[in-house]
Amino acid sequence: MSKLFNSLSNTILNSPYISRWSVLMIDSLISTFATLSVYLVLGFFTRSEAPFSTFGFIALTALVVSLLVFYLFGTHRGIMRHTTMGEVIRISFALLVKSVILLGLYIALKPYYGITFNYTQLCISQIWDLVCSLALLVAVRMFLIYIYELFLASTHKISKRVLIYGDDAKSVAVATYLSKNKHAEYRIVGFIKMQKRISRHKLQNLTVYTIDRYEYFSEVIKKRGVNAIVFPSQASAMAEKERLIEYCIKEHIRVFILPQMNEVSEDGAIHTQIREIRIEDLLGREEIKINMEEIKGFLGGKRVMVTGGAGSIGSELARLVSSFDIEQIIVLDNAETPLHNIQLELTDREKNKQGVNFNLDEFGKRYKFVIADVRDVLRLEKVFEAYRPQIVFHAAAYKHVPLMEDNPCEAINVNVQGSRNMADACVKHGVEKMIMVSTDKAVNPTNVMGCSKRLAEIYVQTLSRAIISGEVKGNTKFITTRFGNVLGSNGSVIPRFREQIVNGGPVTVTHKDIIRFFMTIPEACRLVMEAATMGEGFEIFVFDMGEPVRIADLARNMISLAGFEPDKDIKIVYTGLRPGEKLYEELLNDKECTIPTEHKKISVAKVREYKYQEILEWYSTLKELAFSMDKDGTVKQMKFIVPEFKSQNSIYSKFDK
C-alpha cells in the first residue's frame, strides 16, 4: 500500500495540469447538475409536476449556457488546485450571467416546454441556482487543493519547513508563491515577526508568531521543526541582521531572501526564485533613488557605447543602458569569453521579454558586441567610424592593486593611455559625453593602480577644460565618477572568501584592522547613470559609500552564514598587507574636499587643476617610459605628475621625497 500511495502521490504531483477544456466541461456539468437539482427540489416543495421532456430541455439549456458563459469569462483558464479569490469572483459573475440568461429563456419558452413554475418561483429558482452552483464549484476546487497539499506533505518534496518573516503584503506574496510552486521544496508552517508584545493571530490560516527574545524563538523552532526562514526583501533582512538572523545562525537555521527588492512589486507579485541569503544582502543600505525620467531623456534614442562591457561594472551598465529606449548599444571588451557570456545573457533576456515577437535581426541591429582593446588606436578609430556612439561609458581598466604594483607599465598602457585614446576618439568623432569610471584609490594614491586612475582623471578633466576654453576644438563633455570597492565584482574579496569557505578554509585576511568601503554593483551603476545626467563637463563626482566594513568581521559573518563557527570549523588566517595596500581607504565624501550636489549621495571633488600643454608633455614622457618597460622610470614620472602619490608597503617607497 505504501508503494502504491507513493506512486500515486508522485503521479499527481508531477502530472501536468488538467487541460482547460476539461476544466470547462467539468465546471459546466457541475453547474448543470446544480440547475437540475434546484428545479427538482423546488418542484417537490411546490408540488409542481413537469413532463420528462422539460427536464431534458432544462439540462440541455443549462449545459449550453454554462459552456458559453464560462468560456466568455475564462473561468477555465485558471489552475483548479491554485484557485484564488479573484478566480472565485470571476466564477460568481459568470454564474450571475448564466442565471439571468436562463431566467429569460424560461420565461420566453415557458408555454412551449411545460415549465410549471410561476414567475416568482422561477426567480427564486435562479437565485438558488446561483448559490448552489457557486458552492459546488468552490467546494470542488477546495477539495482538489486539500488533496494536492495532502499528497505534497506526504512526499519527499517537502525538505524544508519554513517560516516567512513579517505579515505584510510582500510576506503573504512569498507564502502564496511557495505554496503554489509545485517544484518548491518548502512547507510553510507560519509567519514570524519581532515585537515586544507577544501575541498570536492567523494569516492565510497559518499562525503568526511574534517573538522578542532568543529563548522564545528557539522554542518556536523546536516545536514546529523549522529549518529555514524566508525574508521577503533585503530591507526586512537588514532590519533583523543583528537579531533574528543572529538567532538563525546560532540555531543553524538557513536564511533565504528575495534576490532584489525591485523583483517584488508593490502589489506583491513575485518575479524571481528565492535564494539563500548572502553577506552582500546584509551590507547594503537603503535603496538608491534615481531620476528615471532624466536618464530616459539623457539616453533616449541614442547610440551608447560601454567599454569594459564584459566586466562587473561594465556588464551591469550594459544591462541598465539596454533597458532604456536607446537606438543602439555597443558593448566593447577585449576578453572574448566574458563578452560572449554577456551577449548570451542579453539575448536571452530579450527573448524572455518579447516572447514570440523576438526578432534576431532586430536584436542584431540594436545590440553590437565588439572585441577591441582600448590600447589599439587604429581599432578604436574603426569602431567609432562604424557605430558613431553619442554617449560613452568608459569602464575598461586594470583594477587589482598587487598585480599593478608588479606591472606599472601595463597599468599606464591600459588605465592611462587607454583612457586617453578613448577620450581623444570621443572628441574627434563628436561624442556628446564620456563618463569615466574611477576609484576611491585615486584619492591620495598609495599604489600604482590608484595613481594610474588618478592620471586618467587628470587627462580627461584637463582635456574637458581645454575644450571649454577653446584651446582644443570639440564639444565632448567629460564626467568622472569615483566609488569604492564593489560587492561581488570579479576577483573581489567576497567571492574569494566564499570560495575559501566552500573548500573548508582557511579564510585569508591581510590584516585584522583593515577596513574598506563597499557598494553593490547595481547601486554603483545607478549612481553612475545619475552623475552622467548631472555633469556639465570636467566634474569628478564622488559617491557616498556609507560606513566602512572591517574585513575580519566580514570574514566571520560569511563563515557564520555558511553554517560554520569561525576559528573552530574554519580558521581565519592573517597574511599581512600586500604591496601598495593600506589599512584605511580615504573618505570620498569628506566635506572639506567636496562640494554637495542636489543628490544627497553624490558630491563633486575638489582637485588640483593642470595645464593642458604641460599634461601633453608629461604624458608623452610617461608613455615612452611605459612602452620601454622601464618600471622605475615609469613610477618616478607618475610621482612627478601626482606628488600626493606616496607608496605604501612597496618597493617604490624609495622614490618618495
Specify which of 27-41, 144-158, 176-190, 441-455 reaches the highest per-range mean pLDDT: 441-455
Residue scoring higher pLDDT (329 or 187): 329
Using CB atoms within 10 A of its CB, is residue 504 exposed (0-12), middle (13-18) or buried (19+)? exposed
594 phi/psi in degrees, rounded to 5: -135, 160
Range name among 364-378, 414-428, 527-541, 604-618 with the lowest pLDDT average: 527-541
E strand intervals along 372-521? 391-394, 433-437, 477-482, 485-487, 507-509, 515-516, 518-520
What's the confidence (pLDDT) of residue 490? Answer: 61
CB atoms within 10 A of CB 468: 14
Q: Which of 445, 522, 534 is nearest to 481 (CA)?
A: 534
CATH class of 160-277: alpha beta
Mean pLDDT of all residues in 392-397? 94
pLDDT band at 36 (very low <50, low <70, confident <90, very high): confident
Are 229 and 248 within 8 A, CB to CB? yes
Question: In whole angstroms, what separates CA 470 from the centre of its chain?
Answer: 45
Asked: is 292-651 a CATH 3.40.50.720 domain? The reply is: yes
Q: Which of 275, 274, 229 is nearest to 253 (CA)?
A: 229
Terminal-to-terminal C-alpha distance of the chain: 87
Q: Which of 195, 285, 276 is nearest to 229 (CA)?
A: 276
367 phi/psi in degrees, rounded to 5: -110, 125
Name the amino acid, one letter, at 310. Answer: A
Range name among 35-39, 65-69, 410-414 with the lowest pLDDT average: 35-39
pLDDT band at 4 (very low <50, low <70, confident <90, very high): very low
Question: What residues does each domain of the chain span?
Answer: 2-153, 160-277, 292-651
| Distance separating alpha carbons of residues 39 and 34, to the nearest angstrom | 9
Range name among 28-37, 568-577, 593-602 with the lowest pLDDT average: 593-602
Q: How many residues does the chain have?
A: 657
* Three-class DSSP category at 289: coil
Domains 160-277 and 292-651 share a fold: yes
pLDDT band at 456 (very low <50, low <70, confident <90, very high): very high
Range name among 17-26, 220-229, 240-249 with the lowest pLDDT average: 17-26
Mean pLDDT of all residues in 449-474? 93
Helix 612-627, helix 448-469: angle, nearest 10: 140
| Distance separating alpha carbons of residues 521 and 396, to the nearest angstrom | 15
